[in-house]
Amino acid sequence: MTFSLHAFSASDTAFDVQAAALEDPRPHPTEAALAQLGHAIMTELLDVLGETALEDVQTILAESLIGAFHSAAGRIERDADRARDRMRSLERDFDGSEMADTELQDATRQARSADVAQAAAELVRDAAAEIYTLATGEVWTAWRGSRRGTRLTAAQLEARQAIRAVERRRSADAEPQGPVVAFRAAPFADSEPDAHRIFDALNWAKAQWPQMALATTGAKGAEKLAIRWAQQKGVTLVLARADFDRHGKAAPFRANDELMALEPTCCLTLAQSLDELRASRTHPFGPALNLAQQAQARGVQHVAIRAKSA
C-alpha cells in the first residue's frame, strides 16, 4: 500500500487534494501558487505595455495570453479523453493478466494526471483574466468552445452546443437542467445608471430562478457587464455569438434566433441607455428590440429594463 506524501490541512482546496491524490513523488504547485502565477503574468504584461506605444494593442496581447492558457487546457483535456478511451478499451478486453493490469493502471494514472494539469492551466487562465478585468474593465470570454467554471468564474457554453442539448432533452421528454434567461442590450448602454439597473434585473432573475443560466451574445458594452455579473455570481454562461463573417449585417439578429432556440424562461432587454445624455444621442438598439418582439410573439416572459421610478 502507498501513502500520499502530502499532509492535508484545513487550507487545502479541492485542487490541492486532487493533486495530492495522484501520489506523484514530485510536488504539485498549490492552487494559491497557480492563482498568483496568473496574477503576476497579467500584472507584468499590463505594467510593461501601459503608457507605451504598445498600449493600443494591449487588449489583443492580454486576451491572447489568457487564450493561450485556455488553448493549453483544451489540449490537455483531449489527452485525458484519449487516456480514458484507452481505459475503456482495456477494461472491456481485460483478461486478468499482470500486463493488462499494469496497462490499465498506467492509462488511469495518465487520465488523472491530465485532469489535474488541465485544472492547473484553468486556474492560471482564470486568475490572469481576473486581473485583466480589474485593470481594464474588459471581460475575457473564450472565443471558441466551452469552458467549465472554477471558483473564480462561471462556466461558459457555446450556444450551438446548448441548443443541441435542448433538442436532446426534448426528444427524450426530459426536464431541462436549469432555466435560461436571455439578455440583450445596447452596446452603448454601459453607463453607471445602466450598470446598476442591469445588475438589479439580473439579481431579480437569479432570485426567481436560482439555477438559471445566462444567455447573451457577448457583445461589447452592456452585455459584457452582464457577463461580469455572471462570473461574480458563478452563473453558467451560454454565448450565442454574432457571426458577421457568415451572416453579415444580419448576424446580430441571427444570434437572437439562437437565443430563442435555447427556449428561455425569460428575456431581459435594454434597448436604450438610461443615461439621458447618451439616450439623446443614440437610437434604440435594434437587436434588443427584436429579441423583445420574438419573446412576446412566442409567449415568453419579457422584462424591459427601465430606470428606477422616483
Of the listed ranges 26-40, 158-172, 228-242, the least confidently predicted one is 158-172
In this structure, the strands spanning 236-239 and 156-158 are: parallel
For the CA atoms of 110, 116, 118, 124, the dihedral, rounded to the nearest 10 degrees, stands at: -150
Give, as one character, the DSSP assignment of residue 184: E
Q: Is 255 found in the same domain as 121?
A: no
39-43, 141-145, 245-249 — which is least confidently predicted? 141-145
Chain position carrying cell 439597473: 197
Identify whether residues 281 and 162 lie together within a single domain.
yes
**Pair (247, 292) in one structural domain:** yes
Same domain, 61 and 165: no
Would 150 be classed as within a structural domain? no
Would you say 236 and 205 are in contact if contact means Cβ atoms under 8 Å apart?
Answer: no
| pLDDT for position 54 | 93
189 closest CA partner among 232, 227, 220: 220
Q: Do 224 and 194 fall into the same domain?
A: yes
Q: Single out the residue of 238, 246, 229 nearest to residue 194, CA to CA.
A: 229
Lowest mean pLDDT among 64-78, 130-144, 274-288: 130-144
Residue 208 lies in a domain: yes
Q: Say yes or no to pLDDT of 133 above 90.
A: no
Distance between CA 76 and CA 82 in Å, rounded?
10
- Cβ burial of 256 (10 Å; 0-12, 13-18, 19+) is buried
Domain-embedded: residue 60: yes
**pLDDT at residue number 303:** 95
Q: Is 215 helix (H, G, I), strand (E, B) or coil?
A: strand
Count of domains for the chain: 2
Q: Coil, strand, or helix at residue 309? A: coil
Residues 246-271: tens digit of each pLDDT? 888 888 898 999 899 889 999 999 99
Q: What is the pLDDT of residues 73-129, one digit of tens each?
A: 889 988 888 888 888 887 777 777 778 778 877 888 888 888 889 989 999 998 998
Same domain, 215 and 300: yes
Residue 5 is predicted with a pLDDT of 41
Quick one: pLDDT band at residue 162, thresholds 50, 70, 90? low
State yes or no: pLDDT of 3 exceeds 50: no
Cell of 291: 429579441
Arithmetic mean of pLDDT, 65-76: 90
Whether residue 246 is found in the same domain as residue 131: no
Q: What's this model's pTM, rounded to 2 decimal places? A: 0.54
Whether residues 128 and 198 share a domain: the answer is no
Q: Which of 1-5, 7-11, 101-105, 203-207 has the lowest mean pLDDT?
A: 1-5
Which of the two residues, 14 and 52, has the higher pLDDT score? 52
Residue 68 domain-assigned? yes
State residue 164's pLDDT score: 59
Q: If you average pLDDT over residues 208-216, what whole number do you get?
A: 93
Phi-psi sector, 72: left (phi>0), alpha (psi -120 to 50), beta: alpha
For 295, which DSSP code?
H
State which residues form the domain around 72.
14-136
Most confident of 46-60, 75-89, 236-250: 46-60
C-alpha 137: how far from its chain's center?
17
* Mean pLDDT across the chain: 83
Of the residues 83, 101, 136, which one is the last residue of a structural domain?
136
Beta strands in the chain (DSSP E): 156-158, 180-185, 213-216, 236-239, 266-270, 301-304
The verdict on 131 and 230 lying in the same domain is: no
Q: What are the C-alpha distances in Å from 163 to residues 160, 215, 253, 255, 300?
A: 5, 11, 17, 12, 17
- Residue 237 main-chain phi, psi, to 5 deg: -100, 140
- pLDDT greater than 80 at residue 231: yes
